[in-house]
Amino acid sequence: MKALVYQEPWKMSMQDLPRPVLQPGEVLVKMESVGICGSDVHGFTGESGRRAPGMVMGHEVVGRIVETAPDVTTPKIGQRVTVFNVLSEHAPTLEEGDPSFLNKRVVGVNLGTRGAMAEYLAIPSANAIPASEEISPEVSVLAEPVAVALHGFHRLAEKSIKPHKIVIIGSGTIGLCCLLVAKSLGFQDVTVIDLISDKLQRAKNFGGNTLLIEMNSTPDDVAGQIREKLGVYPDLVVDAVGVKASFDQAFQMVSEKGNLLLIGNLAKSVELPLQDLVSKEISLVGTYGFDLKAFRQGVETLPEFKDQLQTFIEGHCTLEEAPEVMTALAKGERKALKIVIDFE
C-alpha cells in the first residue's frame, strides 16, 4: 500500500508498505478522507518532538471497512467509519470512561506505521465508530476536534463549573469548535479573541462576540480591552492556543475565583505566577484530547454543526501532495483552517 513515511524534520517520502495483516478483534479501514491537523504540521517540522523517523502520521480519519478479523461481528464490511484514534492497552474491549488517553498510544502520533496517511489502517473494531452517510467524509474528519472541545466542557461539568462569561483565545479549528460547543450547550455570552481579523469573521458568523487584539499588546492591554468590552472580567477563559503569550493573556484577564480551561499545548512550559494564582483563587483545568464518550458525542453532533464545519474545509490535496502542503502551512505560505487529503 502507498504510505507517507516521516523521515526527519521537514522530510517525508512516499513508500510502498505491506498492507496490514489483521489481528484478532481488528478491522481494516480503507481511507476516504484524512484531515491535516495542526499537530501534524508541528510534528512534520520537528517542533512537537512526538514524531519518530519511520512512522506514518495522520489521525483525523474517515474511511470504509474493507476487511474484518474472523471474530469481529461489527462494524460490517462496506460501512463508513471514523476512528477513535487512541488505542487502549486493553483494546479491543474499550469501555465508557476508560482513561485510554493516559496510555498515549495514538494513531498517527506514536504508533509506528499505524497512521492514516496511508491507503489502509488496521484498528481494533471498538475504535471504528460508524459515521453518517448523510455527511461528507471531509466534514466527518472534524469529529476529532469537536470531541476535543466537548471533552474540555465535560471536564468543566465534572467540577460543577458553570461560567457566565466565556472568552476563547484563538479562532483556529479548536477555538471555533469550542465556540460551537459552548453555544450548543446554552452559553450565550461567548467572546473569541485573535490577532487576525479574517479568522474572527468566522467566529462572528457562528454567533460569537469577537475582539481583535493588536500584535504587540501586553497581557494587561488585552485584559483591559476585555474588561471594557464585557463590563467585567470573564469567569472562564479557554486557551485554545497554548503558548506563553496566550497563557499570560488568559491569566491576566480571568476574574477572581475564575477558571482557566487549558486545551492548547504548543508550549512545553510556561511561567506560573503562583502568588497571583493563589491570591485570586484561580482554578486551572487541564484537558488533553478526548475520551471515547466525547468522541462518540462528537460524531453524533456532526449533523448539528455540519454547515459551520463545512466552512472549515479550505483546501484538498492528494497523498502525494501532502508534504508540499504541510511545508507551505508550516512556513506560512498557505493559510487554511483545514486541508483534507482525498483518497478517492
In a domain, residue 99? The reply is: yes
Task: State the pTM of this model.
Answer: 0.91
In a domain, residue 301? The reply is: no
CATH of the domain at 229: 3.40.50.720
**Can you name the residues that pair with 120 across neighbouring β-strands?**
30
Per the listing, cell 496566550 goes with: 246
In this structure, the answer to whether residues 223 and 280 fall within a common structural domain is yes
Give the pLDDT of the chain (344 residues) as one tens digit per residue.
Answer: 999 999 999 999 999 999 999 999 999 999 999 999 988 998 999 887 678 899 999 999 999 999 999 999 999 999 999 999 988 654 444 444 444 444 567 898 888 899 999 999 999 999 999 999 999 999 999 999 999 999 999 999 999 999 999 999 999 999 999 999 999 999 999 999 999 898 899 999 999 999 999 988 999 999 999 999 999 999 999 999 999 999 999 999 999 999 999 999 877 788 889 999 999 999 999 998 888 899 999 999 999 999 999 999 999 999 999 999 999 999 999 999 999 999 97
Give the residue from 244, 268, 286 where a domain finishes.
286
Q: What angle do CA 141, 306, 158 make, to 5 degrees?
A: 75
In this structure, the answer to whether residues 195 and 94 fall within a common structural domain is no
The per-residue pLDDT for 97 is 45
The per-residue pLDDT for 88 is 64
The per-residue pLDDT for 96 is 45
In a domain, residue 297? The reply is: no
The per-residue pLDDT for 52 is 87
In a domain, residue 294? The reply is: no
Domain hosting residue 166, numbered range: 145-286
In this structure, the answer to whether residues 98 and 210 fall within a common structural domain is no
In a domain, residue 306? The reply is: no
In this structure, the answer to whether residues 114 and 230 fall within a common structural domain is no
In a domain, residue 296? The reply is: no
In this structure, the answer to whether residues 100 and 77 fall within a common structural domain is yes
> Among candidates 251, 255, 293, which has minimal Cα distance to 165?
255
Buried b / exposed e over 148-170, threshold 16 CB at 10 Å, is bbbbbbbbbeeeebebebbbbbb
In this structure, the answer to whether residues 165 and 134 fall within a common structural domain is no
CATH of the domain at 59: 3.90.180.10
In this structure, the answer to whether residues 132 and 150 fall within a common structural domain is no
The grid coordinates of residue 56 equal: 506514518
The per-residue pLDDT for 104 is 63
- Total domains in the chain come to 2
SS (H, E, C) 81-111: EEECCECCCCCCCCCCCCCHHHHCCECCCCC
The per-residue pLDDT for 92 is 42
Give DSSP secondary structure letters for 144-176: HHHHHHHHHHHHHHHTT---SSEEEE--SHHHH
Q: What angle do CA 330, 201, 286 make, to 5 degrees?
A: 60
In this structure, the answer to whether residues 124 and 162 fall within a common structural domain is no
In a domain, residue 292? The reply is: no
Give the residue from 286, 304, 327 where a domain finishes.
286
In this structure, the answer to whether residues 110 and 42 fall within a common structural domain is yes
Rounded to an integer, what distance in angstroms lies between the CA atom of residue 338 and that of residue 344? 18
- Measured from the Cβ of residue 133, the count of other Cβ atoms closer than 10 Å reads 10
In this structure, the answer to whether residues 83 and 181 fall within a common structural domain is no
Helix segments in 188-291, DSSP class H: 197-205, 219-230, 244-253, 274-279
Give the 3-state secondary structure of residue 326.
helix
Rounded to an integer, what distance in angstroms lies between the CA atom of residue 52 and that of residue 337? 25
In this structure, the answer to whether residues 220 and 232 fall within a common structural domain is yes
Q: Would you put residue 231 in left (φ > 0), alpha (ψ -120 to 50) or beta? A: left
In a domain, residue 44? The reply is: yes
User: What residue type is 289 in one-letter code?
Assistant: G
Give DSSP secondary structure letters for 275-317: HHHHHTT-EEEE--S--HHHHHHHHHHHHHHHHHHHTTEEEEE
Do the bridges between strand 338-342 and strand 26-36 make them parallel or antiparallel, or are there none, so unpaired? antiparallel
In this structure, the answer to whether residues 233 and 324 fall within a common structural domain is no
